[in-house]
Amino acid sequence: MAAESDNPLAQERWKTRPLVVIATSAGDPVFKQLTSSLEEPRNREAFIERDMVLYTVIGDRGQRNGVPLSQDQTQALISALDERPDGETTVILVGKDGGKKIVQQGQIDPAAIFATIDKMPMRQR
């Protein structure tokens, strides 16, 4: 059982905006489409400019910006978000305050994520 201290989102609070993508496999079309579109230069710049970090959970394996998380960290991340990595691909935007700002199953356009962030009070400051 993962402890709250293992939750990687706790260290992100007030520093970054985690974007969490949970999928059953790396071959999932929603996962592939979103991760490849985030690699496009304009989206990559927008991602960095908005203090974002990318968490991916494929099955039971988690990563933060491509760096593997421990099993306990991955479990704590899933648990903290109250999600299950066994259904439809889910994209979750977590604000700097630690709250969920977007929870979307299926396709999502990075522009929609950025637009949501741009409306946030912290971003407008």
Token look-up 């407008």 returns 124
pTM, to two decimals: 0.92
Average pLDDT, rounded, for the chain: 91
Q: Note whether 1 and 78 are within 8 A (CB).
A: no
Which band of pLDDT confidence, cut at 50, 70 and 90, is reported for residue 121?
A: confident
The token pair that represents 13 in the structure block? 């609070």
Q: What is the pLDDT of residue 86?
A: 77
> Using CA atoms, how far apart are residues 65 and 55, in angstroms rounded to an integer?
6
Q: Pick the residue with more confidence: 61 or 121?
A: 61
Domains of the chain: 4-120 (3.40.30.10)
pLDDT band at 3 (very low <50, low <70, confident <90, very high): low
pLDDT at 87: 81
CB atoms inside a 10 Å sphere around CB 107: 12
Measured distance CA(99)–CA(13) in Å, rounded: 9
pLDDT tens-digit readout, 5-28: 789 999 999 999 999 999 999 999
Q: Measured between alpha carbons, how far is 85 from 61 in angstroms, rounded to an integer?
A: 10
Backbone angles phi, psi at 110, to 5 degrees: -50, -35
